[in-house]
Structure 1
Amino acid sequence: MSGKVVLTYFNGRGKMESIRWLLTVAGVEFEEVNLSNREEFLKLLNDGALMYEQVPLVEMDGMKLVQTKAILNYIAGKYNLYGKDLKERVMIDMYAEGVRDLMELMMMFPFIPPANKSTKLNEIESKATSRYLPVFEKALAGSQYLVGNQLSCADVQLFELTLMLEEKFPTILTNFPVVKAFQERMRNLPSIAKFLQPGSKRKPPPDDNYVKNVCEVFNLKL
């Protein structure tokens, strides 16, 4: 295997987007293989590339990495984005897993039947404003980062989450000024500013074509 980092997933955000973000902040160049049909997925299965028969798949450092959390933790640990000791790491994990809980609700939204979308949006907004954003608002009060005195993977994932939330709820951060200020600081990091520009490897919000692609590859019927 070459030294290149290769990401295998759909041509869309999903669980791979946080990995793209973290690699970008770490300054790691990567290539992508986009699954376009079920045959490509079945070939990965037949080749034994997917430990649990799931994507995302990240090939780096001579390994085929699966499971999103494991991948993110490996990248964070390798590139000094995972705290200075075990106590910081467990706090980073706690914040990051909270972020992912809310992200996963949003990732599933495009696959919800149209009749249920309004109810699901209300649920996401309610959980975001009552359960998750208050935690991050408190954690960032008087601090530049969620944990300790340096940037971590949890900060990167929280920034990604704030952007996702604002796509659905443009004013959602109005009552969370500390989180909003954090978001603006993160925007000014050179790697992030570049990734936010048109033409980067950042993926757009999921649309009907993305949903169709995922359903075809996994042989799903909505």
Structure 2
Amino acid sequence: MPGPFTITYFPVRGRCEAMRMLLADQGQEWKEDTVTGELWQKGELKKSCVFGQLPKFQDGDLTLYQSNAILRHLARNYGLYGKDQREAALLDMVNDGVEDLRLKYVQLIYQNYEEGKAAYVEALPGHLRPFETLLSQNRAGQAFIIGDQISFADYNLVELLRNHLVLAPGCLASCPLLAAYVERVRARPRLHAYLESPAHRDRPINGNGKQ
């Protein structure tokens, strides 16, 4: 049996929210080891992290770093990596696309928010269109991003799309399939309960107050 799980991270949603959503939707419990900025600045924890960064994820005696590696580990444990190797390859492709967009988002939030927001929002439909296209190719957009069952990439994509809906509330107007997909996934009973809980709602999206 996997677990017990512990997430060590800053007091934000950030790169851990997709894994929290996955665990909640799969009916799993986990502990939060919250790292303050003051503790992180002391440097000892940073030195102990393999790549000098968080999140850190503990699954029993297994310790992992890198948020996408953690998602894939959980996907393998819970059957969230597609039904076969073909779907697994497509899910890896989607997740890499999500990472590309996340990096653009993070750069905006932490480096160029005031000056860059308008241009970012203007370009956003073009960055979202590939996901709308992929969704349209799977059961006419009425299922998941790949295949017939939810996957780790769905949690990661939906979490990032929800962040963008805070940044730019109308950003899915030109992507109706994605808009419906976000609502369909977030309505899953256990996931919906988590997203409505203080554990999610009271945790800021980013560490600098920008969103």
TM category (shorter chain) comes to 0.7 to 0.9
AA at the equivalent of 1:43: E
Structure 1 residues 61 and 124: CA distance shift in structure 2, 3 A: farther
Q: Distance in 2 between matches of 1:205 and 1:66?
A: 20
Is 1:135 the counterpart of 2:130? The answer is yes
Q: Would the aligned equivalents of 1:14 and 1:107 in 2 still touch at CA under 8 Å? A: no
- 1:150 CA drift (Å): 1.0
Structure 1 residues 191 and 92: CA distance shift in structure 2, 3 A: same
Secondary structure of the equivalent of 2:204? coil
Aligned partner of 2:11 in structure 1 is 11
Size of the aligned set, in residue pairs, is 203
| 5+ residue gaps, structure 1 | 211-222
Q: With structure 2 as the length reference, what TM-score do the two structures score?
A: 0.85
Aligned partner of 1:184 in structure 2 is 183
Q: Would the aligned equivalents of 2:11 and 2:204 in 1 still touch at CA under 8 Å? A: no
Aligned partner of 1:98 in structure 2 is 97
AA at the equivalent of 1:76: A
Structure 1 residues 139 and 161: CA distance shift in structure 2, 3 A: same
Aligned partner of 1:31 in structure 2 is 31
Structure 1 residues 127 and 71: CA distance shift in structure 2, 3 A: farther
AA at the equivalent of 1:135: P
Secondary structure of the equivalent of 1:15? helix
Aligned partner of 1:79 in structure 2 is 78
Root-mean-square deviation (CA), in Å?
2.3
Instruction: String of CA shifts for 1:73-106, please: whole Å, max 9, x gaps.
Output: 0011111111012211111011111112212322
| 5+ residue gaps, structure 2 | none
AA at the equivalent of 1:44: L
AA at the equivalent of 1:151: I
Q: Distance in 2 between matches of 1:164 and 1:209?
A: 13
| Match for residue 121 of structure 1 among 117, 120, 130 | 117
Q: Would the aligned equivalents of 2:56 and 2:63 in 1 still touch at CA under 8 Å? A: yes
AA at the equivalent of 2:8: T
Q: Distance in 1 between matches of 2:73 and 2:32?
A: 19
Secondary structure of the equivalent of 2:43? helix
AA at the equivalent of 1:74: H
Instruction: String of CA shifts for 1:20-76, please: whole Å, max 9, x gaps.
Output: 222222222111111112468633356x4x222221100113111111111110011
Is 1:44 the counterpart of 2:39? The answer is no
Secondary structure of the equivalent of 1:6? strand
Q: Would the aligned equivalents of 2:91 and 2:153 in 1 still touch at CA under 8 Å? A: yes
Q: Distance in 2 between matches of 1:60 and 1:40?
A: 26
Between the aligned residues of both structures, percent identity stands at 29
Q: Would the aligned equivalents of 1:92 and 1:154 in 2 still touch at CA under 8 Å? A: yes
Q: Distance in 2 between matches of 1:111 and 1:138?
A: 29
Q: Distance in 2 between matches of 1:195 and 1:17?
A: 11
Q: Distance in 2 between matches of 1:78 and 1:3?
A: 11
Q: With structure 1 as the length reference, what TM-score do the two structures score?
A: 0.82
